[in-house]
Amino acid sequence: MGPLLEVKGLSKVFTLGSFLSRVRIKAVDEVTFSIQSAEIFTLAGESGCGKTTTARMILGFETPTSGKILFRGEDVEGFRNRRKWFLQVQAVFQNPFETFNPLRRVESYFFETVHNFDLAATPPEAYSLIDEKLKAVGLSLQEISGKYPSEFSGGQLQRASIARALLANPSLLIADEPVSMVDASLRMSIVNLFRKLCDNFGVSVLYITHDLATAYYISDRIGIMFRGNLVEMGPTEKVLGDPKHPYTKLLLNSIPQPDPRMRYRTTIQLLEEQEEYLLEGCKFANRCPEKGKLCSEEMPAETFVDGRMVRCHLYGPDGDNLPERQGIKRR
C-alpha cells in the first residue's frame, strides 16, 4: 500500500517588509516527506522554521507557491473542497481555548459537526457517536454536557477538541503544537493519546512541535526543519538517538521548551531569522560549529547516511572540501 500523505517539493514564498525594503523569504523550501497509514510523523524545529506554514498548506489554509500534496496518491487540489477531504483530514490546534467560543457550550460543537457532516441518522445515534469519541479520549458526553470552555482545564479541553476531530473517523490528524498550551504535568497524557489513537484506530498523525522529548516518545519518524528546509529526516530513534546534522545536535542539546507567553518573537529575533532565510548556502551556516567554506556558498543536497536523510556538506559528495574534513575520512 502506498503512503497516506505525500508532500512533494512543497514551497511557500512570503514577501515581507514595506515597499522600499521588500524581501522574499522561502518559508518552506522544496519540502518532501510522506506519512504512512497508522504512523506518527513529527516535524520539529525552533520557532519560525516553517512547520506551521507546511501544515497550513496541507490543510488548505495557505496556497503553495509550488509543489504537490497527494492524499492516497491523488492530488489534493482536485478534491480539497469536497466532503471526502474534510472527513479524512482533521486539525488539532495549539490553544484549545481559542478553538471553542467561551460563550458556547462545548457539546454544541459536537452536535454541529455531526449535523454538518451528516454523521448520524437519528439523535440517539448522534449521542452514541459523540459519547464514543469522547470516551476514546478519556471523557464522556455526560461529563461535558452543559459546560462552557472556562469550566474545563486546558488538558480536558484539548482532549475534547481531539474527540471532536475524531467524529468523522479521519485517517490523518494534523496536530500543531497541541500540548504547548497544556499544563506540563498533562502533556504526556495528551501525546500518549495520539499514540493510542494511532495504534488502536490506525489514525496517522502529523505532529508539529518544538518539544523533542514528546516527539521522541511518540513518533515513528521525524523531520527536523531549519529555515524552510528539512535538514534531517528518518526513524525517530536514529535521528534523535544518533543525530548527524549539526542543527539536530544543537536542538537536542538546547531542548527548547515551548513557552505559551512567548508566542511572538522579538524584532531582533525576527530580523536574525530573516537574515538566515536569505543566506545563499546552508541556512544554518552562521550558527554551525562545524561550518566550512562551502557551507555559505552552496545549499547542501540530500544525502542518505545511516538510515536517514541529511542535508549537510559534512556528509555530501563535497564533504572533503570543508577545511575540517580535508585529509579526514568522510563520515
Ligand X SMILES: Nc1ncnc2c1ncn2[C@@H]1O[C@H](COP(=O)(O)OP(=O)(O)OP(=O)(O)O)[C@@H](O)[C@H]1O
For ligand X, the binding residues (CB under 6 A) are 14, 16, 27, 45, 47-53, 273
In the complex, the smallest distance separating the C-beta of residue 163 from ligand X, rounded to whole angstroms, is 25
DSSP 8-state class, residue 287: G
Q: How far apart, in whole angstroms, are the C-alpha atoms of residue 7 and residue 144?
A: 37
In the complex, the smallest distance separating the C-beta of residue 178 from ligand X, rounded to whole angstroms, is 12
The residue (of 17 and 307) whose beta carbon lies closer to ligand X is 17
The residue (of 33 and 110) whose beta carbon lies closer to ligand X is 33
Cα radius of gyration (the chain): 21
Q: How far apart, in whole angstroms, are the C-alpha atoms of residue 119 and residue 137?
A: 19
In the complex, the smallest distance separating the C-beta of residue 94 from ligand X, rounded to whole angstroms, is 8
Residue in this structure with the C-alpha cell 462545548, named with its chain if needed: 106
In the complex, the smallest distance separating the C-beta of residue 49 from ligand X, rounded to whole angstroms, is 4
Measured from each CB, the residue nearest to ligand X is: 52
In the complex, the smallest distance separating the C-beta of residue 307 from ligand X, rounded to whole angstroms, is 25
The residue (of 50 and 96) whose beta carbon lies closer to ligand X is 50
In the complex, the smallest distance separating the C-beta of residue 149 from ligand X, rounded to whole angstroms, is 23
The residue (of 47 and 189) whose beta carbon lies closer to ligand X is 47
3-state secondary structure of 273: helix
The residue (of 180 and 303) whose beta carbon lies closer to ligand X is 180
Distance (Å) of CA 261 to CA 50, 158, 181: 20, 18, 9
The gap from C-alpha 155 to its chain's centroid, in whole angstroms, comes to 19
The residue (of 27 and 322) whose beta carbon lies closer to ligand X is 27
Distance (Å) of CA 292 to CA 134, 231, 232, 288: 54, 17, 19, 9
Beta carbons of 38 and 204 less than 8 angstroms apart: yes
In sequence order, the 6+-apart residues with CB closer than 8 A to the CB of 248 are 224, 231, 232, 239, 240
